Structure 1
Amino acid sequence: MFNQLLEFRNTKLLVQAFTNKIHEIEYFQKTGQQYQYGNNEDFSIAGQQLLEFYFYDYMLLQGFPNQQSQFKKPSDIIQLRQRLINDKYLSEIAILLSIQNLLNIGNQKSLKNNPKVLSDCVKSIIGAHYYDKQNDLEALRDIIHPIVVQLLNKGEQITRTQWKYNPKSSFLEYLNSYKGELNINPKLTIEWKKDDSILNQNKSLYLISLELNSTMKVQKVGINKRETEQSVYLEALLQLRNYHTRNYQKQKKLNYKTEIQENQGESELSTSLDSTLNNQDLSYYSFTEKTLDKLQLNFDQQLNLMLEQLANE
């Protein structure tokens, strides 16, 4: 479940994430040289922030906060996050990955099983992934969301029924909110059939399908009609959000490309006009001193003529 947490392209980052500051200090004391990989202190701080962010991100994708659940306000999610992101639960994840056997902590071997040390190491690995994945937030989401799910299950054992969350209502609300942007016409199909297995001969099953469009369809089978239907709508909601996000990013790239093409067109037009002007034979008329004298003479003659006419009157 968490194996991808240890999958790095740059293994130096992983080694640094495994290295406690104690190891770096002892190395310097013994050799007089700096440990080439550094320590995981900064990674741990970054990992804490990323874990908190994606915890909230996960809850938003599940439709929280909402008035129909116990998480009615953003502060409710924050309080839950504060209870669950702790050394105890994170150290248990570290033990599942046998991180205690990989940890660099100098001669302080007893600290290899310390919950705080193991918890910091998990955070450090998360922080190191930010750099290893070259700031790819989608890749980080795929890595961190399973940790969030583990924290929710391990910590409070909160189920969807306890949340009193209605995925169908959230799905329809989301669909109506972006009705003009999404080309989605959902079609729900419910089929009833008997279970052919020997152990469940007297039980009936519900096959529930929700077709969003020609390429997206969610289908589930269950004994309880309502729970199966809600499960279908929950998965459909997640697919719809991802579909909307992909379309938005695609449209954004298209608009950016169009803008670049328009700017290039304007640039080419400007260059063409400049070239035309440069190639034209532009002549300039200059006034010589003789021309100015002639203009001045004509003016004087006209003035004298006017004065003579006035005198004769």
Structure 2
Amino acid sequence: MHKLLLFSDEKLLRQALTHRSYAHEHPDETSDNERLEFFGDAILTFISGEYLYLLHPEMGEDEMTRRRAALVEEKQLAKFANEVGLDFRMRLGEGLIRAGGYHSANLLSSTFEAVVGAYYLDKGCDLEAIRPLIHELFDAVPQVITATRSTVDPKNQFQAFVQANGAIAPPKYITEKKGGSDHSPEFVSKVYVGDKFCGEGKGLSKKDAEKQAAKSALATLKKGNS
């Protein structure tokens, strides 16, 4: 089961999965997922904007707006809903089920938004609890993300990664000339997040050494989080 469906409060998850058509047919159901859908939509809009802003520091506002829209449009959210297993978990009225509701992009996307809102509430309104799960889904949208990922400076990638995982201050680089000649020097850079040493790199310039340090640190931290 996907982590987005692991709730401490099962009633909250049930509400997120309950369409108003189901609640109408079952008088014992006291609420549906419409308010949670509204809330989840706001959370996804924020996280997607933050995600693109940190991942693509070279990107302008218009392009970020276009890509954010692609991340949270109906068909894409419906795909996310299927990936986490929401399709046949949706609680729909009999009429919607007969009409193929379990495969409706509109219903799937709305339910996904509701589950996101409910999960945030279930985890004590802690954005850090839900952010990695949403990032994981966003990472799998190649036409939106990976087309330009290779052009992003490793230092920016590393900064985006550590900030997305709770760091407040940006990474700090300590770079020194350690060898070579005046015409072909060699620099060594060490990168820290707070007081924690994260990686080291070498290069023929300070800039290259810092990029290599960021690559090393990013690879190490991602491996540790896998």
Would the TM-score normalized by the shorter structure come out above 0.5? yes
8 A Cα contact 1:167 1:233, kept in partner: no
- Separation in structure 1 between the aligned mates of residue 158 and residue 78 of structure 2, nearest angstrom: 36
Question: Which of 67, 70, 74 is equivalent to 1:87?
Answer: 74
2:65 maps to amino acid: I
Partner of 1:122: 112
- Separation in structure 2 between the aligned mates of residue 92 and residue 63 of structure 1, nearest angstrom: 23
Q: Which runs of 5+ in 2 are unaligned?
A: 160-168, 177-187, 202-207
Partner of 1:101: 88
8 A Cα contact 1:209 1:232, kept in partner: no
8 A Cα contact 2:199 2:214, kept in partner: no
Q: Which runs of 5+ in 1 are unaligned?
A: 28-32, 173-180, 189-207, 240-313
1:60 is displaced (CA, Å) by 2.7
Partner of 1:134: 124
Partner of 1:39: 32
1:209 is displaced (CA, Å) by 8.4
- Separation in structure 1 between the aligned mates of residue 108 and residue 149 of structure 2, nearest angstrom: 30
- Separation in structure 1 between the aligned mates of residue 13 and residue 132 of structure 2, nearest angstrom: 18
Query: Alpha carbons of 1:184 and 1:153: their partners in 2 closer, same or farther (altered >3 Å)?
Result: same
8 A Cα contact 1:89 1:154, kept in partner: no
8 A Cα contact 1:168 1:233, kept in partner: no
Report the identity percentage: 24
Query: Alpha carbons of 1:8 and 1:112: their partners in 2 closer, same or farther (altered >3 Å)?
Result: same
Matching of residue 235 in structure 1 with residue 225 in structure 2: no
Structure with the larger helix share: 1
8 A Cα contact 1:168 1:234, kept in partner: no
8 A Cα contact 1:56 1:77, kept in partner: yes
Any idea what the Cα deviations from partners look like across 1:160-206, whole Å, max 9, x if unmatched?
A: 23xx322347879xxxxxxxx88945359xxxxxxxxxxxxxxxxxx
Query: Alpha carbons of 1:143 and 1:12: their partners in 2 closer, same or farther (altered >3 Å)?
Result: same
8 A Cα contact 1:18 1:102, kept in partner: yes
- Separation in structure 2 between the aligned mates of residue 156 and residue 140 of structure 1, nearest angstrom: 19
8 A Cα contact 2:173 2:192, kept in partner: yes
1:34 is displaced (CA, Å) by 4.6
1:154 is displaced (CA, Å) by 5.5
- Separation in structure 2 between the aligned mates of residue 22 and residue 12 of structure 1, nearest angstrom: 18
1:42 maps to amino acid: R
1:233 is displaced (CA, Å) by 6.7
Question: Which of 59, 79, 89 is equivalent to 2:52?
Answer: 59
8 A Cα contact 1:16 1:40, kept in partner: yes
Partner of 2:101: 111
Any idea what the Cα deviations from partners look like across 1:27-51, whole Å, max 9, x if unmatched?
A: 2xxxxx3513x11111111111111
Structure 1 or 2, whichever has the larger Rg, is 1
2:63 maps to amino acid: D
- Separation in structure 1 between the aligned mates of residue 84 and residue 68 of structure 2, nearest angstrom: 23
RCO (CA 8 Å, sep 6+): is it higher in 1 or 2?
2
1:93 is displaced (CA, Å) by 1.9
1:48 maps to amino acid: D
Once the two structures are superposed, the pairs formed by residues 101-250 of structure 1 within 5 Å of their partners are 101-107=88-94, 108-109=96-97, 110-150=100-140, 152-153=141-142, 155=144, 157-161=146-150, 164-168=151-155, 184-186=172-174, 210-212=190-192, 215-218=196-199, 229=212, 232=215, 235=218
1:117 is displaced (CA, Å) by 0.5
- Separation in structure 2 between the aligned mates of residue 53 and residue 15 of structure 1, nearest angstrom: 24
Query: Alpha carbons of 1:138 and 1:6: their partners in 2 closer, same or farther (altered >3 Å)?
Result: same
Q: TM-score by structure 2 length?
A: 0.69
Any idea what the Cα deviations from partners look like across 1:39-88, whole Å, max 9, x if unmatched?
A: 11111111111111001111233252x3xxxx22x332122111231121
Once the two structures are superposed, the pairs formed by residues 274-285 of structure 1 within 5 Å of their partners are none
1:118 is displaced (CA, Å) by 0.6
Please tell me the root mean square deviation across aligned C-alpha atoms, in Å. Answer: 3.7
Query: Alpha carbons of 1:219 and 1:149: their partners in 2 closer, same or farther (altered >3 Å)?
Result: farther
Any idea what the Cα deviations from partners look like across 1:196-250, whole Å, max 9, x if unmatched?
A: xxxxxxxxxxxx9844377322379xxxx99x938617839x99xxxxxxxxxxx
